[in-house]
Structure 1
Amino acid sequence: MSSEQANSLSPIKRALMALEKMQAQLDAVEYAKKEPIAIVGMGCRFPGGADNPEAFWQLLRDGVDAIIDIPGDRWDTAAYYDPNPDTPGKIYTRKGGCLSDRLDSFEPQFFGISATEAKSLDPQQRLLLEVAWEALENANQSPEKLFNSLTGVFLGICSNDYNNMIWQTGGATQVDAFCATGNALSVAAGRLSYFLGLKGPSLAVDTACSSSLVALHLACQHLRNQECHLALVGGVHLLLSPETSVAFARTKMLDADGYCKTFDADANGYVRGEGCGVIVLKRLSDAVAHKDKILAVIRGSAVNHNGRSSSLIAPNGPSQQALIRQALENASVEPAAVSYIEVQGTSTSLGQPIEVEALAAVYGKNRPLDNPLLIGSVKTNIGHLEAASGIASLMKIVLAMQHGQIPPHLHLHQPNPYIDWEKLPVKVPTQNIPWDKGDRQRLAGISAFSFSGTNAHIVLEEYTNAENPQGLSRSLHILALSAKTQESLVQLTAAYEKYLVGNPELNLADICFTANTKRSHFPYRLAVTAASTLELAGKLGAFRDGKAVEGLSQGKATTNFPEELQIPDLNSKSINWQSILENVTQSYIKGVTIDWAALYPDDLCARLQLPNYPWQRQRYWIESGTQINADLSIIDSIKQGNVHQLTQQLSAAENLSADEWELLSQLLTKLTDPSPSIQQLQRQSLTLTDIQNWLVSQIAKEMGVKPDDIEVQAPFDSYGLDSMLAISIANAGQKYLGIQVSPLMLVHYPTIAVLSQHLATELAASETEAFEI
């Protein structure tokens, strides 16, 4: 309406219009305070081989109990086990919900972490890096596009077992500069933000069992307050040392039989479990605008504390009721509309009746007995994951909503007699049952009550995505795959081949669009053109078998192509689509930047959940005693004056008497004495090439990669070299060259080629000064 039209209205009409505008603004403000938060991606690593959401759902649907004997690589279970719960220093159970993956394996190079640092890095931080990356891939959020973005990280974490192991293995002698950052709980969140270059809030939350749901509550608040626009939320927990289990055994908190028997008359404790889950969140309005695949929405949440209870760790029924009512109010949801609750359910005789009565008091209000509230616990499948338990519960409900089924609650044989099952409108499903939808979206609640007294409750709603776009009609499509190593590229190709064979109904355009525009692009590259999913799967299979095939090209990208390939106007009638794809293919494998979005100008493709990146893990673990550095040659040991190292190396190669070793040690001490006689002669003979080769070898050793993978023209930060590694390399350089080497040199001379030239100049100058003296 123009100003003239507005002025022609009567004062009353203008006032009414002003009121309507003010009301609209107030409504917008109120909506922003309670806007639903969309879950757009998930990644997980749970017991029973549940290494992705699909595998986790299969475990839940099939009613699998994933509790096993605690693996021997965690601690000596035989030494700590005693069936008598009153035996001091012992644990009366051998069971746990343990991961099937080896926890000592990791691919640090992918995350720019050196091999040296990886050994001091808490496996919980390692797991979070991997699972967060998988969650972003699942959400089709290209990580490099998040650089410098207002993306938040909110993680639940409460255990510090690896730090205990380091001290127990070798005491203070095993502690290095990386132990501090590698084992601080705060850095678990900070490392994710650092690696991805995120500028939003970054918090590690420790409220014990409620940690990950409290982190989720905080993330939703930050998103609604516009303090971040995307959020990574999750929890992690690993069982690495026995101390906490010994302590819990003293309090009789653990189940001796190795079952979480939630709601059962025989419930007498819980089973400790481990795992990691990460979800990706956006405001619902943003997720819809970005055409994300929305898995579910968080309608509301609340956090409170028990306050003064019968004891610090005892649950409090009134506080639980107040918490649930607050979460429902925040969600603008009536209690009777919620049909399922994922309970805390830690299988304690004290907590079970209190929790059920609190749920019935709130959710049972005006609920007919013939329409009971369904309740269950994922802990009966995988154990109690403590700091990660809440995120596991949430992911269970998201998957159940997607599949329209409620998976069975296990180990309920004789209902707890202290719960009045006849009068309370609640029911525990012990078989896989359909989740009736009714005339509205399914709604569920998730509870987490912790022994710290801090409680959390989440209200979750299913979401129906809009129908898939009309699709993209082209005669030929290109799939671009890449990895940081050739081995990973081969495995990724095999995963895509399996995916294509298992999902022949999928649209090829959607597959290629998602892979090309929503995934990161790394140096080792493969580009394939095909007209159908069947043809594409066949070409990937040929690559796996080492066969040459038309329409498939591979190569390693270089850093010499900063320019971007210009995509011609695709609406032109004279377009030669096959020629364009051939140009894209050859440019891509060389390393030219491709504007993939320009190939899909109308955004007509659906976003799919494609295979995750395949990790190339190797062992990185704290070892007992002093280890021989196999990467250091005998010649290097002599040059660096490392007598102890050289003695160990020779000891492993020859059988000499103790007297002979003593004489050899004395001889080596004299040979490596830093007097000018030997050392200066060695250093004066060093050339620029020698120094460059030494730097390549030293950096490769620190990073745990092959020297051939080091490019002398590449910046140091591309290898993940940080200040602590710079100190390590500078110290080694001083020993090798005999001149002052500052860690700042790696900043001022940021490549091996430039630094080598500088060090050669410095070395020559030092030799001239020595000669003049």
Structure 2
Amino acid sequence: MNPETGEQHVGENDIAVVGLACRMPGAANHEEFWELLRNGRNSVSRQDDGTWRAALEDHGAFDAEFFGMTAAQAAATDPQQRLVLELGWEALEHAGIVPGRLRGTRTGVYVGIASDDYATLAARRTGDAGGYSAAGRHRAMAANRLSYLLGLRGPSMAVDTAQSSSLVAVHLACESLRRGESDLAVVGGVNLILADDSTTVMDLMGALSPDGRCHTFDARANGYVRGEGGVAVVLKPLHRALADGDRVHCVVKGGAVNNDGGGPSLTTPDRAAQEAVLREAYDRAGVRPGRVRFVELHGTGTRAGDPVEAAALGAVLGTARAATGAGTPLAVGSAKTNVGHLEGAAGLVGFLKAALTVREGEIPATLNHETPHPDIPLDALNLHVPTAPEPWIEPAGQRRLAGVSSFGMGGTNAHLVLEEAPAEAAAEVAAVAEGRRAALPVVPVVVSGRTAEGLRDQAAQLSARVEHGPELDLLDVAWTLADARTVFGHRAVVLAGDRDELLTRLERSAVHGVAGSFGRRVLVFPGQGTQWVGMGAELLGSSPVFAGRLRECADALAPFVDFDVVEVLREGRSLERVDVVQPVTWAVMVSLAEVWRSLGVV
């Protein structure tokens, strides 16, 4: 670190975030999540049972065949495990990594998961238990199933520290990468609310907001709202990411995990422990606390928790920032005001928000904040809760720095330090992209799926992304689909010269609606080297279709050769002469194709 500017250099302990995926109410991917945050939207709604929740629409939707599972296996498997498979695959593809190429590698899988509602429900239906039930209900399988699917040999574990589970999982993955135990890591966090019991238990504890809003650091703080969904990220050492030309979304500089260890009660947060985890995190990261501009809070909006968190932040970061003479206080916020509290997955939700905030250079608003909590003196703590989006501009030569906090109900605290990606990362990506440019009149765009239906779905997603998403370079799209995506058996190649032509040709080829449009039968005949004396002679005598087409071929060749193709086959002449075997083999191929066509094979 430059002691004058506080600028961070690429270090051997820096971890790059190279892949992102999420599924949350109102946000099917990380781009939609960022738009939800920027636009100040709230995805919490009242459910049919009268409770408030940020709920996913369909827990049951799952393409079992795609992930190599039978319908019976999928039905016996916790939907949280299935969500990890989907998000892990999506995050790897977003990182430009073909999942199938990771087989046998030291890729670790770490999953934060703190609930098992599915196991609770399944236990009530003992008659439904079967051979797949044990693995389907066991929490550890949330990580192990992804490792099995992709043949990964790195560490594979589910992490449960209650509400801090997924941020602790990120910390463990980073430490594994720093030790060289893993070369790559997929980290996920999931939370699905499948049984009413779990909501009832949290309500009896007094943790839930009766008005369906999370009022972080606000005088109205009265609890949190439960949320569903999941997040996955792909991590690798920064020096490797730069060498590989990866797009780096942000960098994990360091972090720390501790426990309250004997605070006021098992479930009451402890200020001293939170201060300690903050100091240790910034010390390990080699970052001066006063340089931090934004912290994504745990921020549940509870009367006991918010004042403790605010006091700890003020003592370690707020006052340190004031001492540097920074003109702005430490900005703090919580995505729980947008998507609810995803409990075991909440740490990764906060991590994703902080990563996008650092990358985009804009601090989103925190919703439901009007009057500061009476026990949180924001000015004295040098803290600020943005109620509208704020630009984030650092002095020249300094990268944006943010923190992420997550605290478990049992006192396990985690804090990670994130930094803007170094300029060389963006430059490397731009150089790689420029190297792909070519003066091509058209480019081949490959779309594929395990099934015809899967192919149509992929084509529909591509069409929607090209038509409604941000402007995309056609060559980049084609390169990514051909080189950084798994190419399955059902596939289509659409040739296009620009965006409009791609959309038109997708539609014209009926990719979306005709199952047989792609993945159709193709007759493939090899060339010279497959011939033998007497080939075709039996068909010549038994198949009028073969004989008729062969005669047409012989007549077409007659002006150019000194032999008759039909006679060569009928007499069983030697096919060693190149000038004989090439046209004869061609004629046999064409005639065989006509035979298959006559039998309905097209």
**Counterpart in 2 of 1:596?**
none
Give the partner amino acid of 1:282.
K
Q: Is it true that 1:390 corresponds to 2:350 in the alignment?
A: no
Identify which of 358, 379, 393 aligns with 1:401.
358
1:487 offset after TM fit, Å? 1.6
Q: Is the 8 A contact 1:143 1:196 kept in 2?
A: yes
User: Deviations along 1:464-499, whole A, 9 cap, x unmatched?
Assistant: 433312342132322221101112212222222233
Judged with a 3 Å threshold, the aligned counterparts in structure 2 of structure 1 residues 557 and 420 are, in CA distance, closer, same or farther, namely farther
Structure 1 residue 555: Cα displacement: 2.6
Q: Offset of 1:398 from its aligned partner?
A: 1.6
2: CA distance, partners of 1:302 / 1:104: 36
Give deviations 1:192-246, integer Å, cap 9, x for gaps: 0000111100010000011001000000011111111110002101111111222
> What's the CA shift string for 1:513-564, capped at 9, x where partnerless?
111000001110101223333322321121237899xxx9833589999xxx
Gaps of 5+ in 1: 1-30, 79-93, 562-773
Flag the 1:220–1:117 CA change in 2: closer, same or farther, 3 A: same
1:527 aligns with 2:504: no
Change (3 A) 1:286 1:553: farther
State the one-letter code of the partner of 1:302.
A
Distance 1:355 1:511, change over 3 A: same
Mapped partners of 1:309, 1:178: distance in 2: 42
The SS at the match of 1:367 is: helix
One-letter amino acid of the structure 2 residue matched with residue 215 of structure 1: A
Letter matched to residue 287 of structure 2: V
Q: For 2:517 and 2:227, how far apart are their aligned partners in 1?
A: 45
Q: How many angstroms does 1:402 deviate by?
A: 2.6
Deviations along 1:643-681, whole A, 9 cap, x unmatched?
A: xxxxxxxxxxxxxxxxxxxxxxxxxxxxxxxxxxxxxxx
Correspondent of 2:21 among 38, 43, 47: 43
After superposition, the Cα gap between the structure-2 partners of 1:208 and 1:557, relative to the gap in structure 1 and judged at 3 Å, is farther
2:117 equivalent in structure 1: 161
User: Cα deviation per residue 1:582-603 (whole Å; 9 max; x = unaligned)?
Assistant: xxxxxxxxxxxxxxxxxxxxxx
Question: Mind listing any 5+ residue stretches in structure 2 that lack a counterpart?
Answer: 1-8, 526-602
Task: Name which of 423, 426, 438 aligns with 1:473.
Answer: 438
Q: For 1:625-640, what aligned pairs fall within 5 Å after superposition?
A: none
Q: What's 1:540 paired with? A: 506
Alignment-mate amino acid for residue 373 of structure 1: L
Structure 1 residues 412 and 106, CA, compared in 2 at 3 Å: closer, same or farther?
same
Q: CA RMSD in A?
A: 2.3
Q: What is the match of residue 585 of structure 2?
A: none
Correspondence 1:102 to 2:58 = yes
Asked whether the 8 Å contact 2:166–2:347 carries over to 1, the reply is: yes
Q: Within the alignment, does 1:429 sit opposite 2:386 as a pair?
A: yes
Aligned twin of 1:142? 98
Percent identity (aligned): 41
Mapped to 2, the partners of 1:41 and 1:416 lie a distance apart of: 37
Q: Is the 8 A contact 2:21 2:94 kept in 1?
A: yes
For residues 179-258 of structure 1, what are the structure 2 equivalents within 5 Å? 179-258=133-212
1:66 is matched with: 43
Q: Is the 8 A contact 2:452 2:519 kept in 1?
A: no
**Equivalent-residue separation in structure 2 for 1:292 and 1:127 (angstroms):** 25
State the match for 2:230 in structure 1.
276
How many residues are matched?
505
Q: What is the aligned counterpart of 1:482 among 444, 448, 451?
A: 448
Specify whether residues 255 and 289 from structure 1 end up closer, same or farther in structure 2 by C-alpha distance, changes over 3 A only.
same
Contact 1:269–1:347 (Cα < 8 Å) also in 2: yes
Deviation readout 1:412-449 (Å, 9 max, x if unpaired):
12210111223121100011111122221110000001
Distance in structure 2 (CA, Å) of the matches to 1:261 and 1:136: 35
Q: Indicate the SS of the match to 1:325.
A: helix
Partner residue of 1:417 out of 374, 380, 392: 374
In the alignment, the residues of structure 2 paired with residue 162 and residue 558 of structure 1 have an alpha-carbon distance, to the nearest angstrom, of 45
Structure 1 SS opposite 2:299: coil
**1:55 alignment counterpart:** 32
Letter in structure 1 aligned against 2:41 = V
1:496 aligned partner, one-letter code:
L
The separation in 2 between residues aligned to 1:130 and 1:480, in whole angstroms, is 21
Classify 1:327/1:535 alpha carbon distance in 2 versus 1 (closer, same or farther; 3 Å): same
- 481, 484, 506: which is aligned to 2:472? 506
Partner residue of 2:400 out of 428, 442, 448:
442
CA 1:559–1:442 in structure 2 vs 1: closer, same or farther (change >3 Å)? farther
- The structure-2 alpha-carbon separation of the partners of 1:371 and 1:489, relative to structure 1 and needing over 3 Å to count, comes to same
Q: Contact 1:523–1:556 at 8 Å: present in 2 too?
A: no
Letter in 2 for 1:156: G
Take 2:369 and 2:186, find their aligned partners in 1: how far apart are those partners? Answer: 35
Shift of 1:404: 1.8
Contact 1:237 1:387 in 2 (8 A): yes
- Structure 1 segment 560-571 matched on structure 2, within 5 A: none
CA deviation string 1:301-332 (max 9, x = no partner): 11101111110011111111110111101110
Asked if the contact 1:493–1:544 (Cα under 8 Å) also holds between the matched residues in 2, the reply is: no
Q: Secondary structure at the match of 1:182?
A: helix
**1:296-695 equivalent positions in 2, closer than 5 A:** 296-368=250-322, 370-439=327-396, 440-463=398-421, 464=423, 465-467=425-427, 468-469=430-431, 470-471=434-435, 472-475=437-440, 476-502=442-468, 506-544=472-510, 554-556=518-520
Q: Report Cα offsets for 1:613-639 as digits up to 9, x if no partner.
A: xxxxxxxxxxxxxxxxxxxxxxxxxxx
Q: TM-score, normalised by structure 2?
A: 0.80
Shift of 1:270: 1.1
Q: What SS does the corresponding residue of 2:69 show, helix, strand or coil?
A: coil
Structure 1 window deviating more from structure 2 (533-542 vs 141-150): it is: 533-542
Contact 2:456/2:513 (8 A) holds in 1:
no
Distance 2:98 2:60 in 1: 28
C-alpha distance 341-32 of structure 1, shift in aligned 2 (>3 A): closer
Find the aligned partners of 1:409 and 1:504 in 2 and give their Cα distance: 25
SS at match of 1:511: helix
SS at match of 1:140: coil
| Contact 1:137–1:519 (CA under 8 A) maintained in structure 2 | yes
CA contact (8 A) 1:34 1:331 kept: no
User: Are residues 180 and 337 of structure 1, via their aligned partners in 2, closer, same or farther at CA, if it must alter by over 3 Å?
Assistant: same
Could you tell me how far apart the structure 2 residues matched to 1:408 and 1:102 are?
29
